[in-house]
Chains A and B, each alone.
Chain A
Amino acid sequence: MSSKDLVLAVSGLNVAYNESKVLFDVDLNVRRNQVVACVGRNGAGKSTMLKTIAGFMRPTSGTITSDGESLIGRAAFVIADMGIKYIPQDKKVFSDLTVRENLELGSYASQDYDWMPVFDYFPKLKVLLDRKAGYLSGGERQMLMIGRAILGRPKMLLVDEPTEGLAPSIVMHLRAVFSELAKKTALVIVEQNLPLVCAIADKIYALKEGRIMAELTERASIKPEMCEPYL
């Protein structure tokens, strides 16, 4: 398969925070509409990998391409403009803006003003439109962040720990949303919730101390017990 068939191709990626090396020769491939999960302990380098792909960090070496185009050296906003949207772990929304204004920012950037798909996935947002985002619960913030990111039909979502600290009912809801989203876009999810990951992922990369230790590609092999040794 050539790199042009891949919505994301990462090869020999090395990333460091000053003198401290965090990622070592990471290879990762994502096909169109594929759900790829990255699991690993805290500090394994999962979030760093997403940030590097999204353009927030510069690798020391290696290549990152999307549809054959290199992402290295491109600014984060240019990568987002290419349809690769990053949803960070912190669940920080623009707290002084309303839900409506938050969505408007997503719409204006992507020139997509049709919010129906967002409300189909997250009906709750429709009734919260005029509420300041700072007053939303953790789950509602996550809904807003995902809703804002899917405007403009991105070709890939990079989602960092989406269920961290959320109630089980919200996690179930997000699981259903990700399954639906996967029909339209590629997903790279960094997550420690193994039941969720195993339910939706087509491929799992297990990271440990900055290195890819295992790559589970067979649907039958994607089971929590196969991932547990890396957590």
Chain B
Amino acid sequence: MNIVKWWWGLLLCFGLVALGRVFLPLPFAIEVLIFSIYTMGCNYLLGRVGFISFGQPAYLAVGAYAAAFYFFYLGNNPYLGLLIGIVVGMVVSLIIGPLFVRLRGDYFALVNLALAVIIFYLMQKVLANVTHGDNGLWFLTSLTATPILDLTRPDQFFIFAFLAAFALWVFYKYLDDTIFGALCLATKMNDDKVKSLGYSNFNIRLVAFVIANTTTAFAGAMYAVYLGFVSPAITGPERAADPVVVTILGGVGTLYGPLVGSVVYTGLKDVLSKVLGNWELVIGFLLVFIMLAGERGIWGSLEPQLRRLFTRKAAGGVSQ
């Protein structure tokens, strides 16, 4: 019964995104999907493990630049570029993870922010002869058409992004239902108690860190393929809070939060930036409102209402 329920929700959400593709501009729909994948990692870290990270752009840049280096210097197969982005993201997370996951709270947030700043300056200045600094790496025209889904065509890229986001949602839902998902929540709630049961918090956090940041690197590689261009702006410190903002907007730790947050954030950005110069101000007020309204985010607040509505309808149906 539960399986039916969550599949319903998932199909409804993705059905709306697919429908949105008909009415909304294609770039907007693609941006929402990639951004929701980008946010999924942050959502898992924050909602399940209790890690707040202001350094997600660093992992996004790792995936984006890994793919970009491949496209610019080595080859031109978009699928291979995505795979390289994922693998490099995983390797970097495995190297950095053991150092970072020992930290908690503020220190974890700030050490990740520091990493984003380091990567920004590495790409902008230190490695400028390889990365072309602020000019970035351009490779859109060199990407080759691929069979089945041609990722060089935006309409087919949308289908790929849609399927990838859907698969990742199913994966994270599955993760939530496993003993590992329960352990992540447990370590967020009470470190010592997890240890007293015989588990290593370090290992739990490390695995979660690698999963989340590999997801983020995948989003980075998707940006590289979709835009055909990568510059240091992708890891700019001024964008460091974006995934955290979207996570909070959508609802921390909720399954649909990243998608809802991405739709609202990207939508507001697109609509408001045409009317208002300082659209971030509206996002700021929205965040303040959400925090004051109970810290549950948009989906987190809607979910109980929807559940009540559907339960009432189901009960009504039975009594008839």
Contacts and interface: CB of A to CB of B under 8 A. Distances in A.
Interface of A: 54-56, 75-77, 80-81, 85-88, 92-97, 101, 104-106, 108-110, 148-149
Contact of A56 (B182, B190, B195, B198): B195
Contacts of B201: 77
Contacts of B193: 88, 92-94
Given A77-B200, A94-B189, A101 B195 contact: no
A158 to B, nearest CB: 9
Q: Please tell me the size bucket of the interface on B.
A: 10 to 19
Given A101-B182, A104-B179, A105-B183, A88 B189 contact: no
Interface string B196-229: 1111110000000000000000000000000000
B110 interface: no
B185 interface: yes
B170 interface: no
Contacts of A110: 198
B192 A88 contact: yes
B186 A75 contact: no
Given A88-B192, A104-B179, A96 B197 contact: no
A94 B199 CA distance: 14
B196 A94 contact: no
A105 B192 contact: no
B175 to A, nearest CB: 14
> Which 5 A-B pairs rank lowest in CB-CB distance, beginning with the nearest?
A80-B198, A76-B195, A109-B198, A81-B198, A86-B196
Interface string B155-196: 000000000000000000000000100110110011011111
B190 A94 contact: yes
Nearest to A95: B189
Contact of B189 (A80, A81, A96, A104): A96
A80 B201 CA distance: 13
A76 B193 CA distance: 10
Contact of B197 (A56, A95, A106): A106
6 contacts: A75-B200, A77-B196, A94-B190, A104-B182, A105-B194, A109-B197
B43 to A, nearest CB: 16
B272 to A, nearest CB: 35
Contacts of B179: 104-105, 108
Contacts of B182: 94, 97, 101, 104-105
Nearest to A134: B189
B132 to A, nearest CB: 47
Contacts of A76: 192, 195-196
Contact of A88 (B196, B198, B199, B200): B196
B1 to A, nearest CB: 13
A80 B195 CA distance: 7
A92 B190 contact: yes
